[in-house]
Structure 1
Amino acid sequence: MLRAVCARELKLAARRPADVLGGLFFFVLVGSLFPLALGPDTALLKQIAPGMVWVAALLAVLLGQHRLFESDMADGSLEQWLLAPTALPLLVGIKVATHCLLGVMPLLLVAPLLGWQYGLDGDVIAILLASLALGMPSLCLLAALGAALTLGVRGQMLLALLVLPLSIPVLIFGSHAVAQAQQGLSAAPALNLLGAWLCLAILAGPWAIAGALRLALE
């Protein structure tokens, strides 16, 4: 059943590429506007680069995330998941992991282009990619939790109000790792904290999302 859920999500993503590419275009657009608006001030661009890239990544994750479980609730898939012999947290974890893979990989591929726009060096861009690879799955799990808690509620404002406070540690650790690399210091402490946060999100996230889905179906 886990393979079936993963194959279903991949087929749905292939039929609706706009849902996957929308976050990518938003990430590139938001990240590219600030260098154009601020001009060729290399020192200023390098200073704001960590925060701007991470904020753009967070907004790209939140874009359209409120629809993550809506189709499953509409066609009765969630009720079938509750009756399935496979544990609901595993099914939820596979669904979120598939969406995370489809959404994060394109962002990681274009992130070096944004780094070059802000004048970042190659070593700093490598730290930026490492921080995004560790932090983006945590943001995806937090966004999925917000989508489960607001299932059936119209609009994205409530989802943003729930997810943004929880995502602050990820933004702080991710931008701090890049800032440390820019100053020639070790980014390992911030990356380790991102890894610890990711482990916590993987362990607790699917169970929390499954509990929120059960509440939405009652």
Structure 2
Amino acid sequence: MGPTCSIRRNPCIEVSDKAKMAGNMACNTGQGGLCIPTMGSDFYVCQCPPSWTKDTGLDYENCLALKDKCLSEVCVRGDCISSGDGTKMICLCPEEAYGARCENLRGNWAEWGPWSACSPACGHGKIRYRERVRGCLHGNTCSGGRSRQVEVCPENLPCPDEIATLGLGAEALAPQDAWQGGEARAHIEIQQAFALRKRRFRLLVLILKFVFLFLCAFAVASATIMVVYALIY
């Protein structure tokens, strides 16, 4: 090298084979690589920067291939996306798969179960709810949708002890939600009978109290009359 050829050639700067790159360029020193020369020859060794590696398509030492983490990591399903510096990757899973490598398959939803009874069972002016659930088949996780549905019951249903207060007829006790079936009807009939017995008991207690007070008043009046009569005669 040099005007008088007195300097031994540095292959990191210049090589005799013009079809090949000099070491500094091939080792990508602009990105942090390092060229280690063997002076007076075309031989050099590259120490590549963290995000770069050798391009195996070239027949000389180099650091010209950007690392791709997806070349060493496998996504079982879906697509692999490498970071800009090639040191990280993620798997983009299709809807039916999940997991770090999309290794798990989601299950399928079973059919919806029947609607539950309304809660509370009755109550004038109260908002009542019912719910139904479904399970996940062939897996712990299902794609899309929910496992539980809740909705407002379609009709208002007074309780038996509210009928007299509201001035409603006995037909108001009929279950207006057809899906409640015979069990709901039987439950309401039991409530109605209990409320009727409760009202009869209260009426009986009231009558007994009235009779007791009447007898007490009659006894006091009789005693008073007898005392007055004795004083006069």
Give yes or no for TM over 0.5: no
Higher relative contact order (Cα pairs below 8 Å, separated by 6+ residues) = 1
- TM-score norm. by structure 2 comes to 0.22
Q: Which has the higher helix share?
A: 1
Greater Rg by CA: 2
